[in-house]
Chains A and B, each alone.
Chain A
Amino acid sequence: MPMLQLKSRSYEVDDLLSAQEFYHAKGWTDGLPIVPPTEDAVRACLDGVGLPPDRVIGIESVREQSVTAEKLAINAVMAGCLPMHFPVVVAAWKAMLTEEFLLHGTTSSTGGCAVLVIINGPIRRQIGASGGFNALANSDRATACIGRAIRLGLINILDVRPGGIDRSTLGHPGKFSYCIAEDEEDTTWTPLGEMRGVPKGVSSVTVMASMAPRQLMNEWTHAPEEILETFAAEMRGSQRHYSIYGGNQVVVIPKQLRDIIQAAGWSKADIGRFLYERARIKRSEWGDVGKGAVVRDRGESVYIALDRPESCLVVAAGGPAGGFGAVIAPWMGHKTKAVTVPIGACTDRDPNEQEHP
């Protein structure tokens, strides 16, 4: 079968360094050097997922921008992705292009969130995505490059450039790359993807429009309630200082605290229910942090950090030692929703469609 031609415009550059200056000059980078997207490299990504270049992965509906496999592959190569990373990139984009993710709003907002990608399932080990040491940062090549591919794709395919579509006041470092893998081997908990409906043993990605991680510490108790109260307090703080509205919240629990909570028999669902009850504030508390002007006559109204217990996305990840954890708040409450899709599923199908007998 003849190979379909790549449709993107091509350019000739003299060498690797010339390619860097060419891409920077065009405004096609995130400020860091890129891997030149050659035809062989782009085709290797496409061949790895069995997609023709012109396959539409999804459409950003507000600006009517289609996102093709070819453009995703070009940006993935630029980000440093190998072909084995590309299935995760494609799945993440499918999730981002669902209506409930609100891609245009989340990427254009002054709120400055980033797209957090959480990887579950066997593909983590196949691509070397680590959920161990330094899990939220530069833990490994796979998560670093996949997260960067998401951002470069936003910049180049959807014009999400600072001062252009991206109107972020501050942004945060996760906008370079924001991808983690769950440490499924070192936990008794159900993987996040499975919690969210993906069959056991099937790889998945979960995407969420996310603020920067906020690290907490409590290594002075063996009571799960006390450990989780610290997480709840962090959520309450974010409600007071940032946004009062509830939505998804990512809770990253490394091994030291996880072992205590697991040993006490708490499941991820138990954690979600506990935090749903504890992470809530009254609107009047805005008055304590300088926001009294917008309390008005609704001081007794109660706001919950999670719009429902199941919106708590508990992730087992982090190095083996240290009584730390992290909470990752949503961009703006329930206005966007975390989306989970299986990796490698048929790209013509709505991932939210229910199977009917």
Chain B
Amino acid sequence: MTIRVFDPTNEASPAAGAEAPRLISLHGTTIGFISNGKEGTKEFFTHLGGMLEAEHGVAKVVHRIKSNYSAPADKHIVDEIRSWHAVVTGIGD
């Protein structure tokens, strides 16, 4: 005789987000960097932002840091994303 057993996982899938449109060029754009606040992001993001401006024609680089590195980005940062053309984010571990 067999045993009937049940799936313990969350079979319901969360709503999928839509992919943002891709940029054709970085020239003249505003690029936002969102750091999780850890040390490892600081030097790397600063350097990368400088490269984007110097070598790829980015007009403006904005650096923002989350107030809690283990929580989603603060609302004021998320709201600000609308004024950027693209976002670079990452963790500093």
B72 CB → nearest A CB, Å:
6
- Count contacts on A: residues with CB < 8 A to the other chain: 45
Q: Which of A278-312 contact B (CB under 8 A)?
A: 294
Of the stretches B5-13, B22-30, B51-59, B78-86, the one at the interface is B5-13
Provide the A67-87 mask, 1 if CB < 8 A to any CB of B, else 0: 100010011001000000000
Q: Which of A12-20, A174-182, A235-243 contacts B (4 or more CB under 8 A)?
A: A12-20
Q: Which residue of B lies closest to A14 (CB)?
A: B2
| Chain B residue nearest to A61 in the complex (CB) | B72
Which one, A38, A66, A71, A156, contacts B5 given CB within 8 A?
Answer: A38
B70 touches which one: A11, A19, A78, A102 (CB < 8 A)? Answer: A102
Contact: B2 with A62, CB < 8 Å?
no
**In the complex, how many angstroms separate the beta carbon of A261 from the nearest chain B beta carbon?**
35
B14 close to A64 (CB less than 8 A)? yes
**Shortest beta-carbon distance from A290 to chain B in Å:** 15
**Contacts A9-B11, A75-B8, A157-B8; A105 near B71 (Cβ below 8 A):** yes
Across the two chains, which residue of chain A brings its CB closest to B93? A110
Inter-subunit contact A105/B4 (CB<8 Å): no
CB distance from A111 to the nearest CB of B (A): 8
Given known A10-B4, A65-B14, contact A156–B9 (CB-CB < 8 A):
yes
Instruction: Categorize the interface residue count of chain B.
Output: 10 to 19
Q: For the complex, is A158 an interface residue (Cβ under 8 Å from B)?
A: yes
> Which of B10, B11, B39, B72 has the largest number of chain A CB atoms within 10 A?
B10
A230 to chain B, nearest CB (A): 31
What is the CA–CA distance of A19 and B8 in the complex, to the nearest angstrom? 13
- Tell me which residues across on chain B come within 8 A of A228, comparing CB atoms: none
Collect the chain A residues with CB atoms within 8 Å of residue B68's CB. Answer: 102, 105, 335
**Which residues from A are CB-within-8-Å of B71?**
62, 102, 104-105, 335
Most A CB contacts (10 A, CB to CB) among B4, B68, B72, B93 go to B4
Contact of A74 with B8 in the complex, beta carbons under 8 Å: yes
CB-CB < 8 A to A212: which residues of B? none
B18 at the interface (CB under 8 A from A): no
Complex: chain A residue closest to B14, CB-CB = A64
Nearest A-chain residue to B39, judged by Cβ: A294
Whether, in the assembled complex, A325 has its beta carbon less than 8 Å from a beta carbon of chain B, the answer is no
Check if A152 is an interface residue, CB within 8 A of chain B: yes
Q: How many whole Å from A75's CB to the nearest CB in chain B?
A: 5
A35, closest chain B residue (CB)? B5
Residue of B with least CB distance to A336 = B70
Q: Residues of B contacting A102 with CB < 8 Å? A: 68, 70-71
B residues with CB within 8 A of A: 2-12, 14-15, 39, 68, 70-72, 93
A residues with a Cβ closer than 8 A to B are: 6, 8-16, 18-19, 22-23, 28, 36-39, 42, 62-67, 71, 74-75, 78, 102, 104-106, 108-110, 152, 156-159, 294, 332, 335
